[in-house]
Chain A
Amino acid sequence: MPINYYIFLSIALFVIGIVGVLTRRNAIIIFMCIELMLNAVNLMLVAFSKMHHLAKGATDATAGIDGQLFVFFIMVVAAAEVSVGLAIIVMMYRNIHSVDVNFLNRLKH
């Protein structure tokens, strides 16, 4: 498939994630939208890796493989981030019984 299509698909997913972050107030859903953004990046990296492999694979058999490894590292980091993030959200929920992020006004005083 032309690389253009993959780029536009990933950008569409990425922007949907950004819109979710900007419009929702539930901390967990905002966090899920961030995961969606990361997945858009993953898809784009895999498409690019296959594109570079097709372009340079004749001379270098491992061309493009680093893109897929980067995706692997993104997944590693995302897993670590999720564990920390959910711990923070649960801690907050324990104290105020809400996951509403409309605390912008409460912190300022």
Chain B
Amino acid sequence: MNITQILFWFLSALTVFSALMVVVSKNPVYSVLWLIFTFFCISGHYIMLNAQFLFIVNIIVYAGAIMVLFLFVIMLMNLNQSSEPKKHRWLRMAGVVAGGCLLLVLVAALKNIDIKKQVAETNTGDIGLIGNLGKVLFNQYVVPFEISSILFLSAMVGTVVIGKKE
């Protein structure tokens, strides 16, 4: 086992564990903090895959902006006590069983795929660098990029419509 493999297994275990903690935690604030931790672990995976731009964007946008917004809303609503009403126990069991079945089906289906011998290159490769991504983004992907501005505009208008006092 070389250092990359050790890192991969360590990060993966940490990611899955913290993702589980998001779902299991009673207190919403803990859930948010575990989710931020999960995002950091995923960012670690991006670094291993040498996707440096996505690494930094993931931390700035997801962990830095989106999750802070979540935390802010939770604090605003004073949800920090674990006052959440529980779903009925059987319903929760059904949810877990359904999810487990989905996991089993997907893993069984994708266990023997034709590309399983292929390797995702780690530590090397320069496609994840900001310069290379930028060149493609502003040449081939400039139309979707502009279209996403419409998406933002509609989200902005919508948020104002919903948030404004009448």
Partner among B23, B76, B148 whose Cβ is within 8 Å of the Cβ of A16:
B23
DSSP majority for the B interface?
helix
B128 → A minimal CB distance (Å) = 6
- Complex Cα gap A30–B4 (Å): 34
The range of chain A's interface size is: 35 or more
Tally the A-B contacts, defined by beta carbons under 8 Å.
Answer: 237
DSSP majority for the A interface?
helix
Binding site for A on B (CB under 8 A): 4-5, 8, 12, 15-16, 19-20, 22-23, 28, 31-32, 35, 38-39, 42, 45-46, 48-51, 53-54, 57-58, 61-62, 65-66, 69-70, 73-74, 76-77, 79, 84-87, 91-92, 94-96, 98-100, 102-103, 106-107, 110, 113, 115-122, 125, 127-128, 132-133, 136-137, 140-141, 144, 148, 151-152, 154-156, 158-159, 162-163
User: Can you list 15 A-B pairs, Cβ within 8 angstroms, ordered by A?
Assistant: A1-B4, A1-B5, A1-B48, A1-B119, A18-B98, A23-B87, A47-B120, A50-B122, A50-B128, A53-B121, A72-B53, A79-B61, A82-B66, A84-B155, A90-B163
